[in-house]
Structure 1
Amino acid sequence: MPSLLPAYSSIYSGIAKALEAFPERHEERSSHKVRVALAQRRLAKDTQAPRTVKTVASPTSAAVSAMKSKQRPSRKRIIVIAPGAGTRANGQVYADLCQGESFKIEVLGHSCAIYDRYPESWQHGAPAPNLSSFALEVAGDAMLADCLVLGSRGGQVVLPKLWEAVGSALPPAVVINGGCAMNLPEAICWPSEAVTFLLIGGCDHLFRSNMTPEEYMVGTQQCVPATNQSTALLYINEMEHMPQSHLFALILPHLLRICMAWKRRVEMAPLRELQCLLTELNSCRGEWTGCLSFTTGAGWTDVPFGNQRTLLSQGTCKVEYGQRQGWIHSPTQCKAAVGAFSN
């Protein structure tokens, strides 16, 4: 009888192989079930009723422009006191400045109006209505400005009257012809924290009279109280009583920025803005010459400008353009630079 062991051994080996393979197949089935379950879940989600989604309407053009206007910084409100400020001769300068994005210009009063005359304390003055009574009428509106612009008789009468009424709370002021810094019939109550930029010209034969440039500048400086440390003075040799339009357009934005920056921090001169003004003047390649002066804790700091940079009677020195840019960093450096120019 033939032996059955070889046959059984082959069967056993096949069963053993099947048993060995069973766990692997079980794992494959388990993983397959998992994949199917995941697919069913995804399918169930896809077949569910769609959820309601809130839609946001696109903003209208008006809303977009309103949003943009909020993002843009608001334009600074500049109030011009008309009598003496050149609203006719330099009216286009004011109009062009208003077209930009930095300033909006408002004019108070009119030249040659019934009140456009000196008060009784002045020679040939007249009773109210006059410039003194006009100042009291516009004081409330003037307080709404970020900066004031006055000129000639406006600086002589209106500004001192506004100081008398509201003191150092008055907004900063650009004073064409420096009328408030003169020997006037009435004493001026110049506030110690008033921010003022005085603009005077060497060809202003009405206010300069027969004074030398040095006498004119020093006399103007001496009218500013020693307690005040927030006043700047720009003397331009070529400027007339009514500033030439192209000169006025060049410097007025800088004068306004200097005043407003100084008002924000009255205890420190705005050196960066002052430097920008000097850079602008020096870029004209000698068309405008003179001296920028401003108060500090140690008194006045004088900085000459122009191709032939002159510090009044202290001498002259030709300087190549661009070599002195950026040297205003402190009053000490300013004085050192002035000494270099005056050799």
Structure 2
Amino acid sequence: MKKLGCAGALVLALVVAVPVLFVVFAATREPATPTMETVGKVAGIPQRMLAAYQSAAAQLPRQVPKCKGMRWPILAGIAKIESNHAAGRTIKDNGDITPHILGPLLDGSGVGGNTTAFPEGNNRAEGPFQFMPATWTGSGRDGNGDGDKNPHNADDAALGAAVYLCGNGRNLTDRTQLKAAIFQYNHSDAYVADVLSWIDRYSQLGNGTIRIGAHATGKARTVINTALGEMGTPYSWGGGGPGGPTIGTCCSPSGKSGAGIRGYDCSGLTTYAFAQVGVSLPRTAAAQSQRGKRIPASRGVGALSPGDLVFFAYDPSSDATIYHVGIYLGDGQMVNAARPGMKVRAEAIWDHSYAGGARLL
């Protein structure tokens, strides 16, 4: 039987004769579980930029396996100084930033504090992390899985910065090596001091920082850790199951095929996360909404607890129209496989189509 993706609930609701496919508990894959420092809200950082920093830190071990200690505050500290977190720009859902952030022409005039001339070709820094084109050529990465490496994309730039800071495998938990990494980014002691001061601020709990899942315990914590461990895995329509990511099927409502892509769609991710605590889920988002204790949208996001499923629907008053599901992390945040072309990520609960939640644990 072909697996149904997130929006397969619509077909399922119309063709009632089709049996619902249930999955069987088979926790066979060990996730690369991050620590519980994934962040929900930090004063002064746009949510979309914060998501990019989080995602980059989660993906970094796959890019530079020998690097230790890469955390979102390190990337936030750099981006704070380089672009004030893309302040004044529009950050699209896919991470693209408009208008582009361009540094001053490096013609030796001293503008922007730069006195070295780069007369050849493109001689200005680009994007929220202010990469010079030559540096980007070596360190640029595709952070959002769209097949492009763009210094003007939040996800790409954050992952590229993480790779550049890690070098061949620095230990960034060592303050000396962290300083060396920042100095490599900009050969200025004053710059290093400024960046470190912001890293330290962002690293301090209770200083505008909310740790997602901090109140989750037991099985809820396992579910959250499992899902966060999949951050950076590509979206694949029809992909994912109790054993982890799988090759998807064709096709999403937008016409995007998951065939050839190993990853998750929204309900595939939740199926995998809950399988780790012995909870078997139906394959579609709409069917999953019928499990556990339903939490109506009318009660608001405040009624949710970390580890709850969270749903979105074309018509929030009808469970039959539910097209998306994520896992609630706390503090208005969720982890989810959002849509084709994206990767598993943590982000704020969408302010549209919210259809409540379900408590399974």
Q: Which has the higher helix share?
A: 1
Give the TM-score normalised by the residue count of structure 2. 0.21
Q: Which has the higher strand share?
A: 1
Give the TM-score normalised by the residue count of structure 1. 0.22
**Larger relative contact order, structure 1 or 2 (CA cutoff 8 Å, min sep 6):** 2
Q: Look at both structures and tell me which one has the larger radius of gyration over its CA atoms.
A: 1
